[in-house]
Amino acid sequence: MIYNNSGENMKKITDLKLENKTVIVRVDYNIPIKEGMVTDDNRITASFKTINYLIEKNCKIILLSHLGKVKNKEDLEKNTLEPVKIVLEKLLNRKILFSKELTGKKLEEKVKFLKNGEILLLENTRYMDYPDKLESTCDESLSKYWSTLGEIFIMDAFGSAHRAHASTVGIAKYLPSAAGFLVIKEVEKLNEIKTENKTLLLGGAKVSDKIGVIKNLISTADHVIIGGAMCGTFLKVKGYNVGKTFVDDEKSNYVADLIKKYENKIILPIDVITENGEKTINQINNDETIYDIGPETIKIFNQYLSTATLVLTNGTMGLYEDEKYENGTKYTLKCLYENDIKTVVCGGDTANAVKKFGYGFYYISTGGGASLEYLSGDKLPGLEVLGE
């Protein structure tokens, strides 16, 4: 493979001759659905530049995506992509064909009679994980079968690029393949972040999820601001009682070394919100849990954020879904927005929080875990296969 983490050798959709071809596109429609209704269509609309480009090229378009995890029959019932098909039709203002089958004659017939400019959405690719994990183990026979449905493969699911699955990596082994416009944009934006001076605003629960990013970016970071449940690990390492707050014990030694080496860069809370209200970090009891950062911490965090030139944020400052614990996330994001700070939001819960509070930022990645792995310096299997 000649792909490197900078994405320089990655083939792009504009490099291929696509006119009148049958094109398989791996999109990322792994979106929240409640009671059969799509509640956030950002990842759907993010795929439209690639889809519209293929329509202009008179292509026959086959869309593949996963949705959630499929481990049992109940997951088969609740993780169907049919609600996505309805939204897709509405937003694109065109009929979308749908195949409940992921293999077999019925699917092959639908592909055979697909007309130029038409779109066929296949059912959740992870349906092939039950009862056998064919999708997530990149099963060779499934990969080869799916590749026979088209002539070209376009990878436009950046949020799934860190997974070596049949629909992300397997198909690409058998067809001419390239990155779609969303993947191209993600790589370009994330490459910018690597070299620019920045402030990291990190939350969420597990330190292990963020270690690679901290390790790879702290040398070019002005400050690393730690909130959310993950501050529990940092505070415990510094000798504070964090009660029942989750602590990533396996990473405690790493955190201790990090604090020792970069003490002037790492900014931690001085007060928090537990189920019993505001507490300084000296007052947390054994039976309490940190659910948000406190008002004094918000002020301190915002002092650093308001003067930053670039902020990379991943993970929320607290349990933002609950109004009692939303202030940390709400007011740090508000500070970035009102001060017009160049901010890159790395997907996941942070992107959901941004939408909830109605703020707009320089760039909101669709990646989540993929964005973090990319920024950590890791190669992503779904991009690595897009070389020559």
> 1 pLDDT exceeds 60?
no
> 90 pLDDT exceeds 80?
yes
Do 50 and 148 fall into the same domain?
yes
pTM of structure = 0.87
Query: How many structural domains compose the chain?
Result: 2
> Of 132, 154, 181, which residue sits at a domain end?
181
Instruction: Give the mean pLDDT of 134-140.
Output: 98
Q: What is the pLDDT of residues 34-84, one digit of tens each?
A: 899 998 898 999 999 999 999 999 999 999 999 999 999 999 989 999 999
Do 177 and 192 fall into the same domain?
no
Q: According to the 3-state scheme, what is the secondary structure of the chain?
A: CCCCCCCCCCCEHHHCCCCCCEEEEECCCCCCEECCEECCCHHHHCCHHHHHHHHHCCCEEEEECCCCCCCCHHHHHHCCCHHHHHHHHHHHCCCEEEECCCCCHHHHHHHHCCCCCCEEEECCHHHHHCCCCCCCCCCHHHHHHHHCCCCEEEECCHHHCCCCCHHHHHHHHCCCEEECHHHHHHHHHHHHHHHCCEEEEECCCCHHHCHHHHHHHHHHEEEEEECCCCHHHHHHHCCCCCCCCCCCHHHHHHHHHHHHHCCCCEECCCEEEECCEEEECCCCCCCCCCCEECHHHHHHHHHHHCCCCEEEEECCCCCCCCHHHCHHHHHHHHHHHHCCCEEEEECHHHHHHHHHHCCCCCEEECCCHHHHHHHCCCCCHHHHCCCC
Output the domain CATH number for residue 233: 3.40.50.1260
In a domain, 4, yes or no: no
In a domain, 276, yes or no: yes
Which tops the pLDDT comparison, 282 or 32? Answer: 282
> 388 pLDDT exceeds 80?
no
> Of 181, 201, 226, which residue sits at a domain end?
181
Report the range of poorest mean pLDDT among 103-112, 182-191, 346-355.
346-355
Q: What is the pLDDT of residues 265-288, one digit of tens each?
A: 999 999 999 999 999 999 999 999
Do 168 and 148 fall into the same domain?
yes
Instruction: Give the mean pLDDT of 365-378.
Output: 86
Do 275 and 354 fall into the same domain?
yes
Do 295 and 314 fall into the same domain?
yes
> 7 pLDDT exceeds 70?
no
Do 17 and 117 fall into the same domain?
yes
Which tops the pLDDT comparison, 9 or 278? Answer: 278
In a domain, 29, yes or no: yes
> 126 pLDDT exceeds 90?
yes
Q: Which domain holds residue 67?
A: 13-181
Do 200 and 115 fall into the same domain?
no
Do 220 and 146 fall into the same domain?
no
> 107 pLDDT exceeds 70?
yes
